[in-house]
Structure 1
Amino acid sequence: MAARTVLILLFDDAQSLDVTGPAEVFAGAALCQGPRPADTYRIRTASLDGGPVRTSSGLTLVPDHALADAPTPHTLLVPGGRGTRRPDPRLTAWLREHGPRAPRLVSVCTGAILLAEAGLLDGRRATTHWAYCDRLARDHPAVEVDPDPIYVRDGNVATSAGVTAGIDLALALVEEDHGRDTALTVARHLVVFLRRPGNQAQFSAQLSAQTARREPLREVQHWITEHPDDDLSVESLASRARLSPRHFARAFQAETGMTPGRYVDLVRLEQARRLLEDTSDGVEKISRTCGYGTPEAMRRAFARTLGASPAEYRRRFCAPGTRTPGRRPSESRTS
């Protein structure tokens, strides 16, 4: 099998991690192949004129090519960053002409804005960094913008949310191209999750809630995340924080922006979704592991928040080896 060329576009004020994160994943996959690295990925970078670019962090990157001389890629990757706010028209024109020729088109963060400017997302479902989803939808009404997932696949086009989501997407592509073992080896080397599924919300429970200012409340937040199957009643959590239940409930909501009960619900739901997606454990076992107690309680939580039963959710996003692609169920963002 011939190596897949991954061409990464470079431009001034690009986000450096949008470039280097996916590049490290693809490079790691090549290293995993031992004496046959040429069978995996051939990574190349290119800027408009072939000259160095200065990223938004001040890091200078030296490309391999000018865009006019760049090899035809299998995977064309467009990073995000401040440089996408007022893109060079020549870059947009190049994407408009050459983007459709790539068998796989990928953006990280606000790189989706460049793809949209070039008309490459029209009629497609896409995402970008949560802070720019409204702008993408407003400026490009032909794009179906989904602000929730960390990445979205629509045919041969894949768009992802901010920074680390580009690593998640790159790992998913490696798993698709070379199997789970290779992707797992890369993930272990980079000390990241093998795969946060693309349908996972950009806001996890920990990001949806603010981090409490006071140490006892922060410790409680961490305890909830690590022990979803424990007694997480207000009384128990208040005792852990050494506060009265009434004082604890008021302070937790004031400092995190949500009630203790809502935070517990989000943590349990997030854990249950991950286990349904990544394991073959039965619903009864998962309901116990995540603190629901019974499959019926877990079913009610899924129906209330995701509009789907655990069994239906698993059919759409099933465990490795039996995975079938699907759309993410709608999810309430209310707290």
Structure 2
Amino acid sequence: MTSTTTSTRTLCFVAYNGFMTLDYSGPASVFSSANAIAEAPLYKIKLLSVEGDLIASESGIEMMTQSLKSHRFKATDTVFVPGANLPFLQDACDNQVLIQWLKKAKTKVGQMASVCTGAFIFAEAGILEKAKATTHWAACNQFQQLHPDIELDQEALYLQNDNVWTSAGVTTGIDMALAMLEQDHGSDLMGQVAKALVIYAHRPGNQSQFSSLLDQQLNAGDQFGALINWLEANLDKPIKVEQMADQAGMSERNFYRRFTETMGVSPAKYLEIQRLERARQLLVDGNTIKRTCHLVGFKSEAAFRTAFKNRFGLSPSLMREMHSHKA
């Protein structure tokens, strides 16, 4: 397939000591694959750093970079900032050469994009003012403490606010890059790239990160562990809160209170989320909507469709179609 668009967008990835390798290599692979499939130089990828020397990533791999000052901004540029763990992230936020360069970039380039905790660096540079942002679920509380004036979406995989993009964590940088590619060159090329990278489907940005519930499950420990296993084995059956309380060996009132405090959601809401999570996987595996609805205990297919779209931001039929197309 040859692209009809010949203009080249320069992608400037900003490296610093301890940056996450996948935050760079994942999105970069999307755009380099687009070049190969389109048989055209749609994207030029540059790896920059403050000094322009060897930079060690969190994995210990050292990468040669060009200096920030060597790059001349263009309106077609996109600047990417990957994330890192502390204290590397804090060092980057404290580096005024980097912060001032990013502030200048915001006024000169076409797009700015952060991956994972790179949102902290964006916030430090004032790039997220008046913008809704997201970051890795495990860093959301810290982000809100440091930047209470920035509206944070703790569930989204990635967000776009005008020319500023933010993504949640690790592989969501790939989802964001696919969305950016689709905007530039259409869904056909995006789909071919996703298939070439063996990505089962491009996830819409408003899908849940799914991780906050997992975190709550880990915190549940022995108190509700047996109950959670029982629920997962009986999702196709009608289940009442009273039955859940019996399984937990508690009175219904005490169970409701303790479960909600521990899990962060009511028992009924938790059960619905578990049903929808199972439904998502069943649809990915090729099951029909009718069969999926039955296997996860929804009495009404209409109610299932509504709940599924509210949870994942797309209909069950679209979820199934996306995955069957990529198979």
**TM-score under structure 1 length normalisation:** 0.70
Query: Does the aligned pair in 2 maintain the 1:209–1:263 contact within 8 Å?
Result: no
Q: Deviations over 1:174-201 (max 9, x none)?
A: 2222222322222223222321221112
The residue identity in structure 1 corresponding to 2:50 is: L
Matches within 5 A, 1:202-221: 202-203=209-210, 209-210=217-218
Give secondary structure in 1 for the equivalent of 2:91: coil
Aligned to 1:68: 69
Aligned to 1:54: 56
Aligned to 2:10: 5
Q: Aligned partners of 1:15 and 1:91: how far apart in 2?
A: 17
Q: CA 1:152–1:300 in structure 2 vs 1: closer, same or farther (change >3 Å)?
A: closer
Query: Does the aligned pair in 2 maintain the 1:52–1:61 contact within 8 Å?
Result: yes
Give secondary structure in 2 for the equivalent of 1:50: coil
Q: CA 1:25–1:187 in structure 2 vs 1: closer, same or farther (change >3 Å)?
A: same
Query: RMSD of the alignment, in Å?
Result: 4.4
The residue identity in structure 1 corresponding to 2:20 is: Q
Q: Aligned partners of 2:113 and 2:157: how far apart in 1?
A: 13
Structure 1 regions of 5+ residues with no counterpart? 235-244, 321-335
Q: Aligned partners of 1:52 and 1:265: how far apart in 2?
A: 50
Q: Aligned partners of 2:157 and 2:180: how far apart in 1?
A: 14
The residue identity in structure 2 corresponding to 1:84 is: L
Q: CA 1:224–1:172 in structure 2 vs 1: closer, same or farther (change >3 Å)?
A: farther
Greater share of residues in helix: 2
Q: Deviations over 1:189-232 (max 9, x none)?
A: 32223212211122256565339999xx99x96x959x97x458
Q: Deviations over 1:288-315 (max 9, x none)?
A: 5754231354378579xx5x9x9xx659
Give secondary structure in 1 for the equivalent of 2:304: helix
Q: CA 1:146–1:30 in structure 2 vs 1: closer, same or farther (change >3 Å)?
A: same
Aligned to 1:81: 84
Q: Deviations over 1:44-75 (max 9, x none)?
A: 11111110101122111112x21111243521
The residue identity in structure 1 corresponding to 2:158 is: Y
Structure 2 regions of 5+ residues with no counterpart? 241-245, 251-257, 320-327
Q: Percent identity, please.
A: 34
Q: Aligned partners of 1:212 and 1:136: how far apart in 2?
A: 25
- Name the structure, 1 or 2, with higher relative contact order (CA <8 Å, separation 6+): 2
**Of 15, 31, 34, the match for 2:20:** 15
The residue identity in structure 1 corresponding to 2:218 is: Q
Q: Deviations over 1:218-252 (max 9, x none)?
A: 9x96x959x97x45869xxxxxxxxxx94899xxx
Aligned to 1:121: 128
Q: Aligned partners of 2:96 and 2:32: how far apart in 1?
A: 31
Q: Aligned partners of 1:193 and 1:140: how far apart in 2?
A: 35
Q: Deviations over 1:83-142 (max 9, x none)?
A: 222221110011011222111110001111111111111111001112222232232233
Shift of 1:163: 0.9
Give secondary structure in 1 for the equivalent of 2:145: helix
Shift of 1:265: 2.0
Give secondary structure in 2 for the equivalent of 1:43: strand
Query: Does the aligned pair in 1 maintain the 2:79–2:113 contact within 8 Å?
Result: yes
User: Which has the larger displacement, 266-275 or 76-85?
Assistant: 266-275
Q: Aligned partners of 2:187 and 2:296: how far apart in 1?
A: 26
Q: Deviations over 1:267-303 (max 9, x none)?
A: 3334668999xxxx98x78745754231354378579
Q: Aligned partners of 1:319 and 1:265: how far apart in 2?
A: 20
Aligned to 2:47: 45
Give secondary structure in 2 for the equivalent of 1:149: coil
The residue identity in structure 2 corresponding to 1:85 is: Q
Q: CA 1:318–1:70 in structure 2 vs 1: closer, same or farther (change >3 Å)?
A: farther
Aligned to 2:325: none
Aligned to 2:158: 151
Q: CA 1:274–1:70 in structure 2 vs 1: closer, same or farther (change >3 Å)?
A: farther
Q: Aligned partners of 1:269 and 1:126: how far apart in 2?
A: 26
Shift of 1:30: 1.2
Q: Aligned partners of 1:181 and 1:206: how far apart in 2?
A: 34
**TM-score under structure 2 length normalisation:** 0.72
The residue identity in structure 2 corresponding to 1:198 is: G
Query: Does the aligned pair in 2 maintain the 1:14–1:80 contact within 8 Å?
Result: yes
Query: Does the aligned pair in 2 maintain the 1:18–1:166 contact within 8 Å?
Result: yes
Q: Aligned partners of 2:194 and 2:215: how far apart in 1?
A: 22
